[in-house]
Amino acid sequence: MPRLIARRIAVLSGALSILFVCAAHVGSPDTYFEGNAGAYPVRVIIRSPAVIPARADIIVRVTGGGVQHVTATARSWGADSSNAPPPDDAAHVAGDSTLWTLQLWIMRQGSYAVLVHVDGALGGGTAIVPYTAVAQRVLGMNPAMGVALAAVGIFLIAGMLTIVGAAAGEATLNPGDSGGDEVRTRSQRVRVRAAAIILAILVGGRIWWNAEDRAYTKAIYSPVAATLSVRDDTTARGGRRAKPGRVEPHTRILRFAIDPAAAARRGWVPLIPDHGKLVHLFLVKKDGLGALAHLHPIKADSLTFESSLPFLPAGTYLAFADIVHENGFAETIAQSVTLGEQPAMAWKPTDADDAIFVGNGVRSPSRFDDGSTLSWDGAAGSHNAGADAQLKFTLRDAAGKPLSVEPYMGMAAHAVVVRDDGSVFIHLHPMGTAPGIGTMPAMPAMTAEMPGEFEFPWEFPKPGHYRVWVQFRRAGAVRSAAFDVDVATSGNR
């Protein structure tokens, strides 16, 4: 028993260590979505269970009058809709007429679409929320519970042997007969055989349990291994020319390479674009969070991506690579890279949507060279772990008049949130944490300007000091602003 408990503690510790590199974000396993279900604006939060199979908590906030009924169901990626389970009914949360909640069973790991359906006075509508389910850890048994169950088991086995022995001995005698050595010997022989059978069942059960335990532990999500390296590009030196589609010559190249052996063990599934890019790579300066680079490396081969490296202060950088697979599985690969001193030179981005920010964060507002400001409208409020992060921002000109923005990768804005120790990373959109695969077909036509007011649905997962970078496009250029916030321990969660 002590060895089993020690092994489970070791497995649990290992699982918790990889929780910080969990799918689609780091240290923030829940899913957030903001959109519409027909005529009803909805905000959906999916509380991810730590183990699978398990029930996920679904919290739906519906604004708009006349809501009568809210349901939800989870459909696995590629599953036949005719075999999908019927929708589960959501219940009102007492004291809040806009809030509904329910629980959905998640039976296996993988990609899901959670369909939230709203019926009311304005008709019916459905919001589709992409959700990635992964097992994050092994649940250990409480030691006191283990001791209690072992004691009950011993009692039951002793009782069973007593019953079997009596059935083979005293139970065969006529009333008043005391029996003899033959009866006692037969009873003892049957007890021994029964004990051997029980022991065999227990040993077989232990072997089966350990096999299941190993299989489940192996299935716990772990990101593929990857490396980051920097080199000087010499493709145009010595009379050679750069290949079409490659990075610009005479620049420093950041190379992001996924380990082929690790990818093979994981059963690698090819990547698809998320907001038009195969990889979103974020570099965050570890010491003080004083620099951010949001890059989109180009594909060198199926597992290798390269980008021209912008001028960044020397130091160690946390690196987070957001990718989405063909099966809908989204994940974030966390790494680090150390950058040395770089010569000052003009930087030509590999991708037109690449952007950098060097500097400290502010509380609010952030000012730009043209006099415009980006204000964090919720900065003055209290910020608690597990409560609405209040990430609402407004862009204004120097006179205070609201401005519009141009689409930036299909969205009004993107946000990046990092805790100062690197244990939390999230890449947010106004629609939430879900990847932007669904927006891709409409992207070529999205050229009209959007209001310079945007909100990112999210909750800080734990207390601490955070930096929030907001990026948007205006006048053809990507602009970035950084905000600092301290998050307290108390919250609604």
Q: Is 10's pLDDT higher than 50?
A: no
Specify the DSSP class assigned to residue 384. Answer: B
Is residue 408, in this structure, part of any structural domain at all?
A: yes
Average of per-residue pLDDT across 179-207: 90
* Domain membership flag for residue 16: no
pLDDT of 444 above 50: no
255-294, pLDDT tens digit by residue?
999 999 888 888 888 999 998 999 999 999 999 999 999 9
Look at residues 99, 133, 167 and tell me which one is the last residue of a structural domain: 133
Task: Return the pLDDT at 248.
Answer: 47
Give backbone dihedrals phi and psi of 431, rounded to 5 degrees, phi first: -85, -10
175 and 90 in a common domain: no
The residues, any chain, with a CB within 8 Å of residue 293's CB and separated by 6 or more, are 281, 282, 283, 310, 312, 317, 354, 355, 356
174 & 123 share domain:
no
Domain end marker among 133, 156, 181: 133
CATH code at position 301: 2.60.40
Same domain, residue pair 231 and 214:
no
Question: Comparing 3 with 70, which gets the higher pLDDT?
Answer: 70
Q: What is the CATH number of the domain that holds 122?
A: 2.60.40.10
Question: What crossing angle do the helices spanning 181-219 and 143-168 adopt, rounded to 10°?
Answer: 150
Q: Are residues 168 and 82 in the same domain?
A: no
Q: Confidence band (pLDDT; 50, 70, 90) for 381?
A: confident
pLDDT in tens, 415-434: 999 999 999 999 999 988 87
- 239 and 201 both lie in a single domain: no
**Inside any domain, residue 121:** yes
Mean pLDDT check: name the lowest of 13-27, 123-137, 265-279: 13-27
Same domain, residue pair 162 and 237:
no
CA 175 to CA 168: how far, in whole Å? 15
The contacts of residue 67 (CB under 8 Å, 6+ apart) are 40, 98, 118, 119, 120, 121
Query: Rounded distance, CA 350 to CA 348, Å?
Result: 7
Sheet holding 464-474, edge to edge: 425-428, 414-419, 464-474, 477-487
Residue 75 resides in a domain:
yes
- Are 341 and 461 within one domain? no
Residue 368 is assigned to a structural domain of this protein: yes
- Among residues 142, 131, 112, 109, which one has the least CA distance to residue 215? 109
Give the residue with greater pLDDT, 238 vs 128.
128
> Is 480 among the domain residues?
yes
List Cα–Cα distances, 460 to 49, 98, 104, 353, 456, in angstroms.
Answer: 17, 22, 23, 27, 12
Listed residues 219, 252, 270: the one ending a domain: 219
In the chain, the N- to C-terminal Cα span, in Å, equals 35
**For the chain, what is the domain count?**
4
Shared domain for 163 and 108, answered yes or no, is no
66 contacts 121 by C-beta, under 8 angstroms: yes
Same structural domain, 366 and 489: yes
If asked whether residues 341 and 232 sit together in one domain, one would say yes
> Three-class SS of residue 485?
strand
pLDDT (0 to 100) of residue 399: 93
Query: Please, are residues 25 and 332 in contact by the beta-carbon 8 Å criterion?
Result: yes
| Distance in angstroms (rounded) separating the CA atoms of residues 441 and 324 | 16
Q: So what's the pLDDT on residue 169?
A: 84
DSSP secondary structure string for all residues of 28-69: ---EEEEEEETTEEEEEEEE--SSSSEEEEEEEEE-STTEEE
Whether residue 385 contacts residue 487, with contact meaning beta carbons closer than 8 Å, is answered with: yes
> Is residue 248 in a domain?
yes
Evaluate whether 23 touches 132 at the Cβ level (below 8 Å).
Answer: yes
Helix (H) or strand (E) holding 159: helix 143-168
- Domain region containing 331: 225-352
* Shared-domain flag, residues 393 and 459: yes
- The whole-model pTM stands at 0.80
Q: Do residue 47 and residue 97 come from a single domain? A: yes
Residue 18, in any domain of the structure: no
